[in-house]
């Protein structure tokens, strides 16, 4: 199984809502990533978890809160978002055996988020 | 500021044509160069991870070369097929951060 799954596929939320994005992999990977991609722009790294510990936070606003409850799951909790946070949110995982991780990253299909 | 440039931004070819794209990246602090293929509404798919200067990798009709001294990588597709239509992204990993920096991609359209 080389699949990374993400739910939901689409999410529309208001600025006062609280919602969560979920990412799951069953490849035994120990590194997991959240990326944000705005239209016509390259994906930008938000967070990296290595062995279930947050190892990189790219100065992401606190309205985005990541969580890694176990080695297979990665969540992104959203609260009080702004319309400019509307984007495609991609999750990825890799074996994470090296530092920095040079191994292949396997991506999910993304969650398309719209903030009204 | 680390910058990864890809050219061309888009490319339209006929089925059977061979094509190539360029990825330019900083030549200092190099650690690895990744290539991904991303079809609309699907997950980005890893093609290659290249780490050594002079590396050449091949997967079917797709191949890639790497020059870390001058900071570029080429991706070649031989005999393009309509199913090759996708955006091809390269991503640079530098040795100080563990963070992949993506280029904007080359959007390839192959007409039957």
Query: What are the tens digits of pLDDT across the range B22-37?
Result: 999 998 888 899 999 9
Q: Which tens digits make up the pLDDT trace of B48-80?
A: 999 889 999 999 999 999 999 999 999 999 999
Cα of A86 to nearest chain B Cα, Å: 17
Report the pLDDT averaged over residues A88-106.
83
Cα(B51)–Cα(B67) distance, rounded to whole angstroms?
A: 10
For residue B44, the chain A residues in CB contact (below 8 A) are 43, 90, 107
Record: contact B100-A44, CB cut-off 8 A: no
Q: What is the pLDDT of residue B99?
A: 81
Q: Which tens digits make up the pLDDT trace of A57-75?
A: 888 999 999 999 998 999 9
- pLDDT over threshold 70, residue B97: no
For residue A4, the chain B residues in CB contact (below 8 A) are 43
Cα(B86)–Cα(B10) distance, rounded to whole angstroms?
A: 10
Mean of all residue pLDDT scores within chain B: 93
- What backbone phi and psi angles, to 5 degrees, belong to B84? -80, -10
Q: What is the pLDDT of residue B4?
A: 94
3-state DSSP call for residue A27? coil
For residue A43, the chain B residues in CB contact (below 8 A) are 44, 89, 102
Cα(A87)–Cα(A31) distance, rounded to whole angstroms?
A: 23
């Amino acid at each position: 199984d080389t699949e990374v799954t993400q739910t939901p596929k689409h999410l529309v939320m208001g600025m006062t809502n609280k919602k969560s994005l979920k990412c799951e992999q069953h490849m035994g990977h120990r590194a997991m990533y959240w990326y944000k991609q705005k239209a016509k722009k390259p994906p930008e790294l938000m967070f990296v978890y290595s062995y279930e510990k947050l190892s990189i936070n790219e100065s992401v606003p606190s309205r985005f809160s990541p969580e890694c409850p176990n080695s297979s799951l990665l969540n992104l909790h959203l609260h009080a978002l702004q319309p400019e946070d509307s984007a495609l949110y991609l999750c990825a995982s890799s074996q994470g055996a090296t530092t920095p991780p040079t191994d292949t990253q396997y991506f999910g299909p993304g969650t398309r988020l719209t903030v009204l | 500021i680390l910058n990864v440039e890809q050219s061309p931004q888009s490319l339209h070819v006929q089925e059977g044509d061979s094509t190539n794209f360029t990825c330019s990246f900083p030549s200092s602090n190099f650690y690895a160069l990744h290539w991904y293929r991303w079809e609309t509404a699907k997950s980005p798919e890893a093609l290659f991870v290249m780490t050594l200067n002079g590396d050449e990798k091949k997967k079917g009709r797709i191949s890639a070369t790497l020059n870390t001294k001058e900071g570029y990588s080429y991706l070649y597709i031989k005999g393009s097929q309509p199913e090759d239509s996708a955006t091809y992204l390269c991503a640079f990993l530098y040795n100080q951060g563990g963070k992949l920096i993506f280029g904007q991609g080359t959007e390839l359209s192959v007409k039957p």
